[in-house]
Chain A
Amino acid sequence: MTEPVLSVRNLGVEFVTRHHALRAIDGISFDIAKGEVLGVVGESGAGKSVTGLAVIGLIDPPGRIAGGEIYLSGLRIDNLPPEQMRRIRGKRIGMIFQDPLTSLNPLYRIGDQLIETIRTHTNLSEPAARRRAIDLLAEVGIPAPDKRIDGYPHEFSGGMRQRVVIALAICAEPELIIADEPTTALDVSVQAQIISLIKRLGRDHGTAVMLVTHDMGVIAETSDRVAVMYSGRIAEIGPVRDVVQNPLHPYAKGLMGAIPTLASDAERLVQIPGSMPRLSAIPPGCPFNPRCAFVFDRCRIERPEPIAVGTQAVACHLYDTAAKDTAA
Chain B
Amino acid sequence: MLAFTLRRAIQAIGVMIAVGIISFSMFRFAGDPVNQIVSIDTSAAERAAIRKSLGLDDPVPVQFARYFANAAQFKFGVSYQFRLPVADLLKERMPATLELATCATILAMVVGILMGVYSALKRDTLLAKIFQAVSLIGISLPTFLIGILLIYLFAVVLGWLPSFGRGDVVRFGWWTTGLLTVSGLKALIMPSITLGLFQMTLIMRLVRAEMLEVLRTDYIRFARARGLTTRAIHFGHALKNTLVPVITVAGLQFGSVIAFAIITETVFQWPGMGLLFVQAVQNVDIPIMAAYLLMVSLIFVTINLVVDILYTVVDPRLRSTIDRPA
Contact = CB atoms under 8 A, between A and B. Distances in A.
Nearest to B227: A90
Interface in A66-106: 86-91, 94-95, 97, 99, 102-106
B225 A95 contact: yes
A95 B237 CA distance: 18
B317 interface: yes
Contacts of B228: 86, 90, 116-117, 120
Interface string A233-266: 0000000000000000000000000000000000
A105 B223 contact: yes
Contacts of B218: 97, 99, 102-103
Contacts of B240: 107-108
B226 A120 contact: yes
> Interface residues of B toward A: which range?
20 to 34
A293 interface: no
Contacts of B320: 152, 154-155
A90 B229 CA distance: 11
Nearest to A101: B218
Contacts of A172: 227
A120 B229 contact: yes
A89 B317 contact: no
A97 B225 contact: yes
Contacts, number: 79
Contacts of A97: 218, 221-222, 225
A210 to B, nearest CB: 13
Nearest to A117: B226
A36 to B, nearest CB: 21
Contact of A106 (B223, B232, B316): B316
B35 to A, nearest CB: 59
Nearest to A118: B226
B211 to A, nearest CB: 14
B325 to A, nearest CB: 16
A168 B227 contact: no
A89 B225 CA distance: 6
Nearest to A106: B317
B315 interface: yes
B219 interface: yes
A103 B222 contact: yes
A8 interface: no
Given A97-B218, A108-B237, A90 B316 contact: no
A58 B233 CA distance: 14
B52 interface: no
**Max chain A CB contacts within 10 Å: which of B219, B230, B232, B244?**
B219
A51 to B, nearest CB: 14
Contacts of A152: 316-317, 320
Given A152-B316, A154-B317, A90 B221 contact: no
**Max chain A CB contacts within 10 Å: which of B221, B225, B230, B315?**
B225
A121 interface: yes
Contacts of B183: none
B298 to A, nearest CB: 32
A91 B229 CA distance: 12
A86 B237 contact: no
Contact of A102 (B219, B226, B229, B314): B219
Contacts of B102: none
**Max chain A CB contacts within 10 Å: which of B222, B226, B228, B240?**
B226
B170 to A, nearest CB: 41
Interface string A8-25: 000000000000000000
B217 interface: yes
Given A104-B219, A107-B315, A154-B317, A168 B226 contact: yes
Interface in B223-279: 223-230, 232, 236-237, 240-241, 244
Contacts of B230: 86
B2 to A, nearest CB: 21
B243 to A, nearest CB: 10
A58 B241 contact: no
Given A105-B237, A106-B316, A108-B237, A86 B219 contact: no
Given A90-B228, A106-B317, 20 more contacts: A56-B225, A58-B224, A86-B227, A86-B230, A88-B227, A89-B224, A90-B225, A90-B226, A94-B225, A97-B218, A102-B217, A102-B218, A105-B241, A106-B316, A107-B315, A116-B232, A117-B227, A152-B317, A169-B226, A172-B227
9 contacts: A58-B225, A86-B230, A87-B227, A89-B226, A90-B226, A104-B222, A117-B226, A121-B227, A154-B316
Shortest Cβ-Cβ A-B pairs, 5 listed: A90-B227, A89-B227, A102-B218, A95-B225, A90-B226
